[in-house]
């Protein structure tokens, strides 16, 4: 048996150190909240990303073997399948598995980083870069304990691809042809949106070949096998193709056909979709429109969800730099260092697609910064090792690398220490959903804003109208309309939206009535009820219209925390669908940091409420409210209300939620909305609604029509 070389032993040691460091710092969050029971359910920490419940639902259904039609459970998705596999072979609970998977899988990023550094004979640079990259702000934020999402491998896999490309170009060894192709197949299986990055790597290799090494047959083999791995067909088709091609390329006599094979791969690539997936991603994150306009029928205008998602918004330079390197100075040094590194080792130019995608954050949103993290970490690490070579003694060389490494790690450590993100839901919210699971059937629907869609499906095992993937403007409009309109009107829209959703599923399965799946549900409702103007149809909901036949029950999940996003929820329905003009935003003000200043309550710097007359002072303007309502829960957790009518002609209401230490200032439309009436005030028509579960944190009502 061949013994390991000194370099290999050192490589393995550095990988172990960096991996252990990455894991250890990710566990800080669990120590910080170890005794905080609100973040736990059934004795285990819950996860802290909404999307994680999507993959968890799929894994749960794979393990149980039960999944109802049209429940949107991702049983065929990689993250769910890998989780189910680990759940079968590892002796830990499912909740522990999804909590800790990000910790260990994301820490694997240190492996390709150190292997790349080994390829340019600078293992110390690899160790420093691995330590920094593994805990840099944005990478840590999206791979911390509990952040159970595809990001746990979204950087690991392209970094492995970068390593295989670099070593393939350097060594010309045949095994890297297969490794590069397999990495692409696995990466696409794990993250279908990997298309753009794969193509960027391909483009750089093509440019390098044509400019510097056009006579090298090996490069064309690499391009051909990569392109076959990239074609837009199922991975189970691509896998045998690339394996067969690898075996063919081992036959030297076939080298004369490499150019023909490359041509066939290009034709196959473009005939199976080519650049279309890349263009779709650019449209989603770069060329964002505030409105989405239908292309047929009534040409309705809907508000785009991408305008409200923070991770898709533009960010300032300081945050951009901090998220990539932990500090603006470190970022600048990283950029300078990478330029110097690429000058000294031109092979590192193949990492440019990662930097380019990371810099897309300047227009596409902060989620992209993680792609630049590991590559730019090489830059500052290279400067540190280069500086160390100028030290007069070996001891000073080691001490200088240690000191500078601590300096670049410290801001990232302080970020981790202070990054005390909460779980997606607290224990009391989940208890409500857990009780709903015993009340509702799996075919029933729960109406809630899309942020809560995945957790609802996971804990209550029901269907939802919107979720983290199904939240386009036309889908969000009815749900926003339901939550922000009076209960009697909202009840009708809820029944319509659910039945039209199911009707669309049924027609799609039967492959008929294709127009129904082309139009939005609201547009189809408009035409079905004989209207040509959607505004007229929406007004008709205030009258006694005939509703579709009830096929299943509908529930409303109304959490207290939705108060924080209520203005965002309104934006999706406060729009004229016929012309796209946004309506005036509702008057909505929330205060939790108020204080008693004698005869008044100061709600914020410029808003005061007189304690006797309830008159509001907003800057220089005085407003008499229509009513003042105080809510409180008694010892049996039953809601009680005290109401005083102040001015019947006013349009502003004051609600003091005493147990929550929260003041609300609401216009009449918001006060009368389903969310405020049912969640905040528990005022409802018992012929339309029935409260079936709840506590002060969340309430569930059943629709009775």
Interval 359-391: pLDDT, tens: 987 665 677 899 999 999 999 999 999 999 999
> Kind and range of the H or E element at 600?
strand 600-604
Q: What percent of the chain has pLDDT over 70?
A: 93
Length of the chain: 705
Q: Is 702 within a domain?
A: no
* Confidence class for position 513, pLDDT limits 50, 70, 90: very low
Instruction: Round to whole Å and give the CA distance between 516 and 494.
Output: 18
| One domain for residues 185 and 284 | yes
As for how many domains the chain has, the answer is 3
Q: Using an 8 Å Cβ cutoff, are 358 and 372 in contact?
A: yes
| One domain for residues 456 and 535 | yes
Q: Which of left, alpha, beta for 375 (phi over 0: left; psi -120 to 50: alpha)? A: alpha
* Confidence class for position 290, pLDDT limits 50, 70, 90: low
Q: What residue spans of 560-684 are helical by DSSP H?
A: 566-571, 668-671, 674-675
> Kind and range of the H or E element at 469?
none
Range of the domain at 359: 6-418
Of 99-108, 268-277, 462-471, 524-533, the range with the lowest mean pLDDT is 268-277
Query: What is the pLDDT, as a whole number, of residue 516?
Result: 42
Residue 283 clears pLDDT 60, i.e. is over it: no
Instruction: Round to whole Å and give the CA distance between 471 and 571.
Output: 13
3-state helix, strand, coil in the chain (%, to 5): 60, 10, 30
Instruction: Round to whole Å and give the CA distance between 111 and 14.
Output: 9
| One domain for residues 342 and 445 | no
Report the chain's terminal Cα–Cα distance, integer Å. 75
Of 61-65, 141-145, 306-310, 443-447, the range with the lowest mean pLDDT is 306-310
Q: Scan for tokens 């290999």, then name that residue.
A: 8
Query: What is the pLDDT, as a whole number, of residue 546?
Result: 95
Query: What is the pLDDT, as a whole number, of residue 2?
Result: 61
| One domain for residues 229 and 323 | yes
Query: What is the pLDDT, as a whole number, of residue 515?
Result: 44
Coil, strand or helix: which one is 687?
coil
| One domain for residues 611 and 689 | yes
Burial 367-389 (b: 16+ CB within 10 A, else e): bbbbbbbbbbbbbbbbbbbeebe
Residue 281 clears pLDDT 60, i.e. is over it: no
Q: Is 497 within a domain?
A: yes
| One domain for residues 374 and 406 | yes
pLDDT tens digit string along 520-555?
Answer: 899 999 999 999 999 999 999 999 999 999 999 999
How would you classify the pairing of strands 588-591 and 554-559? unpaired
Residue 418, number of CB atoms within 10 A of its CB: 8
- For 106, 114, 175, 345, 595, the CA distances from 379, given in Å and listed in that order, are 21, 14, 29, 12, 50
Q: Is 182 within a domain?
A: yes
Query: What is the pLDDT, as a whole number, of residue 592?
Result: 94
Q: Is 580 within a domain?
A: no
* Confidence class for position 171, pLDDT limits 50, 70, 90: very high
Task: For helices 6-26 and 94-106, give the axis angle rounded to 10 degrees.
Answer: 130
Q: Using an 8 Å Cβ cutoff, are 699 and 693 in contact?
A: yes
| One domain for residues 386 and 490 | no
Q: Give the predicted TM-score (pTM) of the model.
A: 0.90
Query: What is the pLDDT, as a whole number, of residue 313?
Result: 54
Instruction: Round to whole Å and give the CA distance between 624 and 60.
Output: 54
Burial 545-566 (b: 16+ CB within 10 A, else e): eeeeeeeebbbbbbbbebbeeb
| One domain for residues 198 and 168 | yes
Q: Is 658 within a domain?
A: yes
pLDDT tens digit string along 481-502?
Answer: 999 999 999 999 999 999 999 9
Region 211-215: mean pLDDT is 90
Query: What is the pLDDT, as a whole number, of residue 134?
Result: 98
- For 45, 94, 495, 629, the CA distances from 694, given in Å and listed in that order, are 22, 26, 22, 21
Higher pLDDT, 657 or 620: 657
* Confidence class for position 253, pLDDT limits 50, 70, 90: confident
Q: Is 206 within a domain?
A: yes
Query: What is the pLDDT, as a whole number, of residue 362?
Result: 67
Q: Is 579 within a domain?
A: no
Residue 119, number of CB atoms within 10 A of its CB: 18
Residue 558 clears pLDDT 50, i.e. is over it: yes
Question: DSSP letters of 412-430?
Answer: HHHHHHH--PPPSS-HHHH
| One domain for residues 48 and 166 | yes
| One domain for residues 207 and 287 | yes
| One domain for residues 95 and 142 | yes
Query: In the listed set 539, 571, 603, which residue is the last one of a domain according to the structure?
Result: 571
Residue 72 clears pLDDT 50, i.e. is over it: yes
Assigned token pair, 642: 């005290």
Query: In the listed set 418, 437, 453, which residue is the last one of a domain according to the structure?
Result: 418
Region 163-188: mean pLDDT is 96
CATH number for the domain harbouring residue 515: 3.40.1380.40
Region 106-133: mean pLDDT is 98
Region 630-652: mean pLDDT is 95
Query: What is the pLDDT, as a whole number, of residue 284?
Result: 54
Higher pLDDT, 416 or 307: 416
Instruction: Round to whole Å and give the CA distance between 103 and 146.
Output: 8
Region 171-176: mean pLDDT is 95
Question: DSSP letters of 122-157?
Answer: -HHHHHHHHHHHHH-HHHHHTTSTT--STHHHHTHH
Residue 410 clears pLDDT 90, i.e. is over it: yes
**Angle CA 25–162–375, to nearest 5:** 50
**CA-wise closest residue to 323 among 256, 376, 265:** 376
Task: For helices 235-249 and 217-230, give the axis angle rounded to 10 degrees.
Answer: 160
Query: In the listed set 400, 418, 436, which residue is the last one of a domain according to the structure?
Result: 418
* Confidence class for position 67, pLDDT limits 50, 70, 90: confident
* Confidence class for position 504, pLDDT limits 50, 70, 90: confident
Q: Is 414 within a domain?
A: yes
Higher pLDDT, 3 or 515: 3
623: number of CA atoms within 13 Å, CB side? 22
Q: To the nearest whole number, what is the mean pLDDT of the chain?
A: 92
* Confidence class for position 165, pLDDT limits 50, 70, 90: very high
* Confidence class for position 71, pLDDT limits 50, 70, 90: confident
| One domain for residues 265 and 290 | yes
């Amino acid at each position: 048996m061949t013994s390991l070389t000194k370099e290999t032993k050192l490589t393995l040691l550095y990988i172990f150190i960096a991996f252990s460091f990455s894991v250890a710092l990710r566990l800080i969050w669990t120590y910080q909240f170890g005794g905080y029971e609100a973040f736990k359910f059934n004795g285990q920490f819950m996860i802290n990303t909404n999307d994680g419940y999507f993959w968890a639902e799929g894994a749960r259904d794979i393990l149980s073997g039960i999944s109802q039609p049209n429940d949107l459970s991702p049983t065929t998705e990689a993250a769910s399948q890998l989780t189910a596999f680990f759940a079968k072979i590892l002796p830990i609970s499912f909740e522990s598995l999804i909590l800790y998977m990000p910790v260990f899988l994301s820490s694997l990023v240190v492996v390709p980083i150190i292997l790349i550094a080994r390829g340019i004979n600078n293992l110390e640079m690899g160790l420093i870069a691995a330590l920094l990259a593994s805990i840099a702000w944005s990478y840590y934020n999206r791979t911390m304990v509990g952040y159970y999402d595809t990001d746990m491998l979204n950087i690991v896999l392209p970094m492995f691809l970068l390593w295989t490309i670099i070593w393939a170009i350097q060594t010309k060894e045949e095994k890297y042809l297969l490794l590069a192709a397999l990495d692409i197949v696995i990466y696409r299986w794990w993250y279908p949106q990997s298309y753009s990055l794969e193509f960027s790597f391909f483009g750089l290799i093509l440019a390098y070949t044509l400019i510097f090494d056009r006579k090298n047959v090996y490069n064309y083999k690499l391009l051909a096998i990569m392109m076959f791995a990239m074609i837009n067909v199922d991975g189970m088709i691509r896998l045998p193709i690339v394996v067969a091609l690898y075996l063919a390329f081992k036959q030297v006599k076939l080298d004369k056909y490499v150019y023909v094979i490359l041509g066939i791969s290009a034709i196959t690539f473009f005939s199976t979709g080519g650049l279309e997936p890349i263009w779709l991603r650019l449209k989603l994150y770069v060329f964002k429109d505030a409105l989405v306009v239908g292309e047929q029928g009534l040409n309705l205008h809907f508000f785009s969800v991408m305008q409200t998602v923070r991770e898709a918004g533009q960010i300032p330079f300081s945050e951009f730099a901090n998220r990539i390197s932990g500090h603006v100075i470190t970022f600048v040094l990283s950029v300078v260092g990478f330029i110097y590194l690429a000058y000294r080792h031109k092979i590192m130019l193949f990492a440019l697609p990662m930097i380019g995608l990371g810099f897309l954050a300047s227009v596409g949103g902060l989620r992209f910064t993680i792609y630049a993290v590991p590559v730019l970490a090489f830059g500052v690490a290279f400067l540190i090792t280069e500086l160390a070579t100028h030290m007069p003694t070996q001891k000073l060389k080691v001490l200088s690398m240690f000191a500078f490494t601590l300096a670049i790690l410290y801001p990232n450590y302080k970020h981790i220490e202070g990054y005390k993100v909460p779980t997606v839901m607290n224990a009391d919210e989940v208890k409500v959903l857990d009780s709903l699971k015993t009340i509702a059937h799996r075919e029933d629907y729960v109406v809630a804003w899309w942020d809560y869609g995945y957790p609802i499906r996971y804990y209550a095992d029901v269907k939802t109208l919107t979720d983290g993937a199904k939240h386009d403007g036309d889908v969000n409009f009815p749900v926003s309309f339901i939550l922000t309109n009076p209960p009697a009107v909202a009840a009708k829209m809820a029944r319509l939206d659910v039945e039209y959703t199911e009707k669309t599923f049924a027609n799609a399965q039967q492959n008929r009535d294709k127009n129904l799946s082309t139009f939005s549900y609201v547009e189809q409702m408009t035409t079905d009820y004989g209207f040509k103007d959607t505004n007229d149809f929406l007004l008709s909901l205030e009258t006694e219209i005939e509703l579709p036949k009830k096929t299943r029950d509908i529930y409303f999940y109304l959490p207290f925390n939705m108060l924080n996003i209520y203005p965002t929820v309104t934006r999706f329905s406060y729009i004229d669908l016929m012309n796209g003009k946004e309506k005036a935003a509702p008057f909505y003000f929330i205060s939790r940091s108020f204080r008693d200043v004698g005869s008044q309550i100061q709600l914020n710097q410029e808003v005061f409420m007189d304690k006797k007359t309830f008159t509001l002072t907003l800057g220089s303007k005085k407003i008499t409210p229509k009513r003042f309502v105080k809510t409180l829960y008694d010892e049996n957790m039953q809601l009680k209300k005290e109401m005083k009518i102040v001015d019947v002609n006013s349009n502003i209401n004051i609600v003091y939620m005493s147990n929550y230490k929260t003041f609300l200032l609401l216009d009449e439309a918001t006060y009368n909305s389903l969310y405020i009436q049912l969640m905040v005030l528990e005022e409802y028509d018992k012929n339309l609604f029935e409260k079936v579960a709840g506590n002060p944190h969340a309430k569930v009502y059943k629709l009775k029509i």
